[in-house]
A and B are shown apart, each in its own frame.
Chain A
Amino acid sequence: MDWRWDFTFDVVIPRLWEAAGVTVYATVASFLLALVGGLILMLLKTSKNRMVSFAVTEFIELIRATPLLVQIFFLFFLLPEVGITLPPLTSGIIAIALYNSTLCAEVYRAGLQAVPRGQWEAAMALNLSTYRTFRRIIIPQSLPPIVPALGNYLIAIFKETPLLSFVAVGEIMHASKLIGSEYYRFTEAVTIAGVFFLVMSLVSAQLVRLVETYLQRSIQR
Chain B
Amino acid sequence: MKGPKIRFEKVLKAYGELKVLEDLDFHVDENEVVAIIGPSGSGKTTVLRVLMTLEGIQGGTIFVGDEPLNVMRKGDRLVPANRAHVRRIRSKIGMVFQSFNLFPHMTALENCIEAPVQTKGLSKSEATAESLELLAMVGLTDKRDHYPSQLSGGQQQRVAIARALAMRPEILLFDEPTSALDPEMVGEVLNVIRDLARSGHYTILLVTHQMGFAREVSDRVCFFDGGVMVEEGAPDDIFGNPQNDRLRHFLSKILEAT
| Residues of A bordering B, CB below 8 Å | 116, 118-119, 121-122, 124-129, 132, 136-137, 140-141, 218-221
Contact = CB atoms under 8 A, between A and B. Distances in A.
A118 B105 contact: no
Interface string B230-256: 000000000000000000000000000
A125 B87 contact: no
B104 A125 contact: no
Interface residues of B, number: 27
A128 B90 CA distance: 10
Given A124-B53, A126-B119, A132-B118, A220 B95 contact: no
Interface in B167-222: 167
B95 A221 contact: no
Given A127-B167, A221-B104, 6 more contacts: A116-B101, A119-B101, A124-B53, A128-B114, A128-B119, A140-B105
B97 interface: yes
Given A136-B118, A219-B105, A118 B147 contact: no
B102 interface: yes
Contacts of A116: 101
B54 A121 contact: yes
Contacts of B167: 126-127
Interface string B72-101: 000000000000000100110111010111
Nearest to B95: A125
B52 interface: yes
Contacts of B95: 125
Contacts of A137: 103
User: What are the nearest 7 A-B pairs in CB distance?
Assistant: A126-B115, A122-B101, A118-B101, A125-B95, A220-B147, A219-B105, A127-B119
B152 interface: no
Contacts of A141: 103-105
Residue of B97, B101, B149, B163 most packed against chain A (CB within 10 A): B101
Contact of B54 (A125, A132, A220, A221): A125
B164 interface: yes
A217 B52 CA distance: 34
B150 A220 contact: yes
B103 A220 contact: no
Nearest to B107: A220
B115 A128 contact: yes
A127 B90 contact: yes
Contact of B101 (A121, A127, A128, A221): A121
5 contacts: A118-B99, A119-B101, A127-B167, A128-B114, A129-B119
Contacts of A119: 101, 103
Interface in B40-94: 52-54, 87, 90-91, 93-94
Contacts of A122: 97, 101-103
A121 B104 contact: no
A129 B84 CA distance: 10
Contacts of A126: 114-115, 119, 163-164, 167
A129 B163 CA distance: 17
Contacts of B105: 140-141, 218-220
A119 B167 CA distance: 17
B175 to A, nearest CB: 10
A125 B99 CA distance: 14
A125 B55 CA distance: 11
A124 B54 contact: yes
Nearest to B173: A125
Given A118-B97, A126-B115, A127-B115, A219 B104 contact: yes
Contacts of A136: 114, 118
A132 B93 CA distance: 19
B67 to A, nearest CB: 16
A118 B96 CA distance: 11
Contacts of B93: 125
Contacts of B100: 118
B94 A125 contact: yes
Nearest to B160: A122
